[in-house]
Amino acid sequence: MGFYHSFWRMLDMPEQRPKITWPLLKRVLQYARPYRWLIGALLLLILVHTGLSLLSPLVMRDLIDKTIPARNLNRLILLAVVLLAIPILSSGLNVLQQRINARVGGGVIYDLRVALYGRLQRMSLRFFTHTKVGELLSRLNNDVMGAQSAISSTIVNLITELIQVGAVLAVMLTLEWRLTLLGVVILPLLVLAARALGSRLRDMARKQMEANARMNAMLSETLNIGGILLVKLFGRQKVEIERFSQRAAQVRDLGVQRAALGSVFSAITGMVSAVGTAFLYGIGGYLVIRGDFTIGTIVAFGSYLGTLYRTLQGLANVPVEFAASLVSFERVFEVIDLPVDIPEKPGAIVLQDVRGEIEFEDVCFSYATEGAPLLSDVRRHGSMDTIGAVLSGTRPEAAGEESAPRTQARSAALEHVSFRAVPGQLVALVGPSGAGKTTLTYLIPRLYDSTEGIIRIDGHDLRDVTLESLARHIGMVTQETYLFHDTIRTNLQYARLDATQEELEAACRVANIHDFIQALPEGYDTLVGERGYRLSGGEKQRIALARVILKNPRILVLDEATSSLDSESEALIQDALKRVLAQRTSIVIAHRLSTILAADLILVMDRGRIVERGTHAELLAQGGLYAGLYRTQFHKGHTA
């Protein structure tokens, strides 16, 4: 009963007219422009195919009215051959038409996916931290397929059916105008049926896309290696199966409702067509009895009328299908039209001969999303309609501030950060977790742009240089090491695609991972598994270090790069890094005393600010936050 209640309630929904505008149509048709010659050939085939389809009723009319009554055996054989040849030729033309149509459709899918993927590659980290991967995959797959059907299917069908309607009506009027009027008198009923249910079918298509996106979002979250590991560790298999069951049920129910609504539409148009056919044979039969025209004419008319009604029914569906396709185009265009929040200036400077001087001047940064280029809240998918800032919460009210524990939660990630790192200098970032250390390092390669202030490399504002040249001169090992599900060789060559085996081995020796790789059965051609999960944390980090060493950048950013290594491996890597870091500017988030002691400058961060700076000895002498951290963390770890 629940399904029928929701179905009939759906029929009573207020009509929402499709937003079909000329600018949108023009933009959609632009994707067909590269294939205009193929589409032209397609139209020619449609014309020939339509002409062939009009011959069969005329042949049948000739057989009934002339050939059989005249007992003309030669003409009978000729017409039988024609009746056999027409479907054979039509089938061949149809095969060729489908092949061309598939090429056009495949090309449109390719163009849309490349445009979408290219736009997503240019978006900043802010976009990806606020958008579910499953939603993006849904737009790259389901929505692109829906948009493609507008060009390769809906528009082609529209043109085909318009040609067929015109040709059939022309032939019918030539044969007998009175029967033609009888056949078309019911057309207003078809139009009314299309208007009554068309927009509701479009709305159901939108809801089905959104439900699919929600289901895909959950799949991408729970079936990747990290997600499935979390599910198993907390024993939540039953919970996740139930959640997936609910989302899959939404997809199922919407599919059933859409199919039911479509069947109602087909039933109504079928009944209307039956009324027209009954009129034709009833009144037409009476006119045959009166001798106004022949039996062959009414038989031919019956065939043409069936073709006309089928074509008109298809035409009635075209606005619905096209509007549903436009929903997909709107969702695709929403991503393509997202403004790039890390823009590259026209005529930006290409960094060359970088010395490695880094300067932060009164830099502020917030993860707040106001004004950020995100997907619209109305069309966001998943359990959360909106997502707030990454750093949530504010400082306690004055009344309770003294008794409240000190936390790093705040509205701004960085506040008025200023420092200068000279070429070849090792700068260590120290501070409590959440103090803003990682955020500061993310601003150097422009993964985010500062909200206020200026960041310079060799005196150039980061906003004035090309992103490609900036990335070429900065090497970064992030806190969470990521490896592709590929071989060790491929993961290393991501830094330099043309790196030789000797260069790979040299970088791996510096990172103290070469001997381990050589001991593997397949050596450098060993698969690391999804996200590198076949390797230990320390092994992944050493491969990540080797990858950045292979890149050979002028500026190195290491975010807890040795945090997962045992003491022996760390000692070997620290010795190697002394040689690697000697001629480079290095920004290191330090959680090991050995790194801090080697630093030329230590920046102590707290709640997004640099509260102390100096060498190890100078900071200990100050007796401030650094001295407290040293006593509770570094010194304890050193003496242990």
C-alpha 489: how far from chain center: 28
**Is residue 391 in a domain?**
no
C-alpha distance from residue 389 to each of 129, 134, 308, 392, 480 (Å): 10, 21, 58, 6, 21
- Name the amino acid, one letter, at 355: R
**Is residue 452 in a domain?**
yes
Single pTM value for the model? 0.70
Residues 285 and 298: beta-carbon distance below 8 Å: yes
pLDDT at 79: 87
Percent above pLDDT 70 for the chain = 80
pLDDT-derived band at 10 (thresholds 50, 70, 90) equals very low
Residues 214 and 248: beta-carbon distance below 8 Å: no
Give the CATH number of the domain where residue 65 resides. Answer: 1.20.1560.10
pLDDT at 9: 40
**Is residue 400 in a domain?**
no
pLDDT-derived band at 456 (thresholds 50, 70, 90) equals very high
- Name the amino acid, one letter, at 568: E
Residues 387 and 547: beta-carbon distance below 8 Å: no
Residues 122 and 338: beta-carbon distance below 8 Å: no
Give the number of domains in the chain: 2
CA distance linking residue 224 with residue 39, whole number of Å: 41
Which residue from 90, 111, 108 is spatially nearest to 156, judged by alpha carbons? 108
pLDDT at 188: 74
- In the predicted model, is pLDDT for residue 639 greater than 60? no
CA distance linking residue 160 with residue 51, whole number of Å: 11
pLDDT at 162: 84
- Give residue-wise pLDDT tens across range 14-71: 344 445 667 777 777 787 788 888 888 888 888 888 888 888 888 888 888 888 888 8
266-274 long-range CB contacts below 8 Å, 24 or more apart? 266/313, 268/193, 268/197, 269/190, 269/193, 269/194, 269/309, 269/313, 269/316, 272/186, 272/189, 272/190, 272/193, 272/309, 273/186, 273/306, 273/309, 273/310, 273/313
What DSSP character marks residue 344? -
pLDDT at 440: 93
pLDDT-derived band at 284 (thresholds 50, 70, 90) equals confident
pLDDT at 441: 92
Kindly report which listed range (147-156, 278-287, 531-540, 587-596) carries the lowest average pLDDT score: 147-156
CA distance linking residue 310 with residue 165, whole number of Å: 10
Which residue from 499, 148, 167, 189 is spatially nearest to 324, judged by alpha carbons? 148
- Same domain, residue pair 253 and 156: yes
Q: What values do phi and psi take at 454, rounded to 5?
A: -130, 140
- Same domain, residue pair 452 and 530: yes
- Extract the tokens encoding 556: 């190195």
**Is residue 144 in a domain?**
yes
Q: Quick one: angle between helices 155-175 and 177-184, nearest 10?
A: 140
Three-class secondary structure assignment of 403-434: CCCCCCCCCCCEEEEEEEECCCCEEEEECCCC
Residues 31 and 112: beta-carbon distance below 8 Å: yes
What average pLDDT does the segment 395-415 reach?
A: 54
- Same domain, residue pair 298 and 438: no
- In the predicted model, is pLDDT for residue 565 greater than 80? no
CA distance linking residue 390 with residue 409, whole number of Å: 10
- Same domain, residue pair 217 and 292: yes
Q: What values do phi and psi take at 353, rounded to 5?
A: 50, 50
Pairwise pLDDT comparison (6 vs 85), residue with the higher score: 85
**Is residue 389 in a domain?**
no
- Same domain, residue pair 529 and 600: yes
- Same domain, residue pair 16 and 56: yes
- Extract the tokens encoding 631: 């006593």
- In the predicted model, is pLDDT for residue 407 greater than 90? no
Mean of pLDDT over the chain: 78
Residue indicated by tokens 């250390």: 437
Measured over the CA atoms of residue 589, residue 592, residue 596 and residue 599, the dihedral's sign is negative
Angle, vertex CA 155, rays to CA 330 and CA 135, nearest 5: 25
Residues 612 and 601: beta-carbon distance below 8 Å: no
Which residue from 134, 291, 329, 104 is spatially nearest to 227, judged by alpha carbons? 134
- Same domain, residue pair 152 and 247: yes
What average pLDDT does the segment 134-139 reach?
A: 76
What DSSP character marks residue 348? P
**Is residue 215 in a domain?**
yes
- In the predicted model, is pLDDT for residue 453 greater than 90? yes
Most confident of 147-161, 399-413, 601-615, 619-633: 601-615
Which residue from 307, 326, 315, 275 is spatially nearest to 195, judged by alpha carbons? 315
Strand blocks (E) in 554-600: 555-559, 585-589
Pairwise pLDDT comparison (325 vs 478), residue with the higher score: 478
pLDDT at 454: 94
- Extract the tokens encoding 279: 């009129």
- Same domain, residue pair 495 and 420: yes
- Extract the tokens encoding 493: 């060559």
- Same domain, residue pair 247 and 365: no
**Is residue 203 in a domain?**
yes
Residue indicated by tokens 């309607």: 165
What DSSP character marks residue 487? B
CA distance linking residue 271 with residue 266, whole number of Å: 9
Q: Which residues contact 362 (CB under 8 A, 6 or more apart)?
A: 416, 417, 418, 452, 453, 454
- Same domain, residue pair 299 and 435: no
pLDDT-derived band at 460 (thresholds 50, 70, 90) equals very high
Residues 123 and 340: beta-carbon distance below 8 Å: yes
**Is residue 453 in a domain?**
yes
- Give residue-wise pLDDT tens across range 167-220: 888 888 888 787 788 777 777 776 676 666 766 776 777 788 778 878 877 877
Kindly report which listed range (1-15, 69-83, 209-223, 450-464) carries the lowest average pLDDT score: 1-15
- Same domain, residue pair 331 and 363: no
- Give residue-wise pLDDT tens across range 218-244: 877 777 766 776 777 667 788 888 888
Residues 82 and 59: beta-carbon distance below 8 Å: yes
Give the CATH number of the domain where residue 468 resides. Answer: 3.40.50.300
- Same domain, residue pair 367 and 279: no
Pairwise pLDDT comparison (564 vs 566), residue with the higher score: 566
Domain interval for residue 436: 358-371+410-639
